[in-house]
Amino acid sequence: KAGVTQTPRYLIKTRGQQVTLSCSPISGHRSVSWYQQTPGQGLQFLFEYFSETQRNKGNFPGRFSGRQFSNSRSEMNVSTLELGDSALYLCASSPPQGTLSTDTQYFGPGTRLTVL
Amino acid sequence: KQEVTQIPAALSVPEGENLVLNCSFTDSAIYNLQWFRQDPGKGLTSLLLIQSSQREQTSGRLNASLDKSSGRSTLYIAASQPGDSATYLCAVKQGDDMRFGAGTRLTVKP
């Protein structure tokens, strides 16, 4: 099985712009979570989607949003970019309920976003 | 609010040495605890997951223990190898929330 894929891998934007990141989960996984990782704050949970619905949300401003499509692929969008949004954005997918490894998250390689 | 702490922040050992990484958490009412490995600039790889009802999990040279009452977990790596060099993160799940420690950067010298 192919792993979690994220595109693009690297992105450079300027302040005030918006950006969309994409995540394709492992085939058969319906839950997708997004995380932001920075040297100062570490790894922080952004939101989780399941069956096209946002199931959980972390403590981030409304500029951060996401969605999930019927094929479980997910996108996250950040509007009005700020310098502090520079980070590694990680996506993770989880196996469906009822499988032995349902609590395990499988991470993609991340998208490195630099805001200038 | 759950807080997860990992000590030390960095560790350097010679190849072949056995080592222990520590993770502590403030609220013992957790659902599970997971150890991850992260290589520079890359995503996380799940190493071991311990459910709240379990005391330890083993995979190859890795052994993770969990003591909920004291809010601690340890990751034991036996016979360390240069390929083990990476950052190791622990994460606790509590309800729908998952909180990560800042990680321990491990360097294994040949």
The partner residue sitting opposite B49, judged by closest CB among A55, A56, A103, is A103
Chain B nearest-CA distance from A43, in A, is 6
Find the residue in B nearest to A110 (Cα): B43
Instruction: Note whether B34 contacts A105, CB cutoff 8 Å.
Output: yes
The partner residue sitting opposite B43, judged by closest CB among A42, A45, A110, is A110
Amino acid at B32: N
Instruction: Note whether B46 contacts A104, CB cutoff 8 Å.
Output: yes
Cα–Cα distances (Å) from A60 to A35, A64, A86, B51, in that order, read 11, 7, 14, 28
Q: What is the reported pLDDT for A101?
A: 53
Chain A nearest-CA distance from B34, in A, is 8
pLDDT tens track, chain B, 110 positions: 899 999 999 999 999 999 999 999 999 999 999 999 999 878 899 999 999 999 999 999 999 999 999 999 999 999 999 999 999 999 998 877 889 999 999 999 99
User: Does residue A69 sit in helix, strand or coil?
Assistant: coil
Residues in chain A where the model's pLDDT stays below 50: none
Taking the C-alpha atoms of residue A96 and residue B34, their distance in angstroms, rounded to an integer, is 18
Q: In this structure, are residues B39 and B86 in contact, taking their beta carbons and an 8 Å threshold?
A: yes
Q: What is the reported pLDDT for B26?
A: 96
Instruction: Note whether B34 contacts A104, CB cutoff 8 Å.
Output: yes
Chain A nearest-CA distance from B19, in A, is 23
Calculate the dihedral angle through the C-alpha atoms of A103, A107, A111, A112, rounding to the nearest 10 degrees. 100
The structure tokens listed for A84 are 């502090």
Q: What is the reported pLDDT for A99?
A: 53
The structure tokens listed for B21 are 């990484």
Q: What is the reported pLDDT for A100?
A: 53
**What does the pLDDT look like over B42-60, one tens digit per residue?**
889 999 999 999 999 999 9
Taking the C-alpha atoms of residue B33 and residue A2, their distance in angstroms, rounded to an integer, is 26
Instruction: Note whether B96 contacts A42, CB cutoff 8 Å.
Output: no
Q: What is the reported pLDDT for B98?
A: 85
